[in-house]
Amino acid sequence: MIRSLFAALALTFALALPAAAQAPKLPPNVDPQNAILMETTKGPVIFVLRPDIAPQHAERIKTLAREGFYNNVPFHRVIEGFMAQTGDGQFGNGTGGSRYPNLPAEFSKVPFTRGTVGMARASSPNSANSQFFITFGDASFLNGQYTVIGQVVSGMENVDKLKRGEPVSNPDKIISMKVAADVK
């Protein structure tokens, strides 16, 4: 009797632990050093960075994630059929960046398709800093003009659920964003 009561209490306690305390399972063959775990108000999203095509941009995303820069940052611009933009940890409205200097463009031949993660920038190709976007579908008109930094490998259905707007009224947020290798 006591043993079964203890087992029931242990199970209840385990179920009550927050999901954030448990590291999510990465898809097979995903390098945890280049996987980004993003918990949003709509659910988890995992994307894999591409240091092979955008090494400076990939490093910037990892640096800022490790500093907690992206925690509680809104998806300030979400355009139906196009993309969801976030990463303004300075002002939250798309006008800010980080304390680091802007990055030079690292354009590649990798196309913008559903789930592609790209760096947002101003009119200058060398003005990307901290903001990024995730495409909802084909965005080939961006090819060669914006830096591709990664690809969503899990949770695209949660990106699809983000509130739309330009700007978004009462926007969804990144609750936390971490490099998978850092999560124990």
pLDDT digit string, tens, across residues 100-114: 999 999 999 999 999
| pLDDT at site 162 | 98
pLDDT digit string, tens, across residues 11-59: 444 444 444 445 578 999 999 999 999 999 999 999 999 999 999 999 9
**The domain containing residue 59 runs over which residues?**
2-182
For the chain, percent of residues with pLDDT exceeding 70 = 87
Q: What is the CATH number of the domain that holds 164?
A: 2.40.100.10
Is the predicted pLDDT of residue 76 greater than 50, yes or no? yes
Structure pTM? 0.87
Task: Measure the N-to-C terminal CA separation of the chain; round to a whole number of Å.
Answer: 35
The total domain count for the chain is 1
Is the predicted pLDDT of residue 6 greater than 70, yes or no? no
What is the radius of gyration, based on Cα positions, of the chain? 18
**Could you tell me the pLDDT band of residue 165, with boundaries at 50, 70 and 90?**
very high
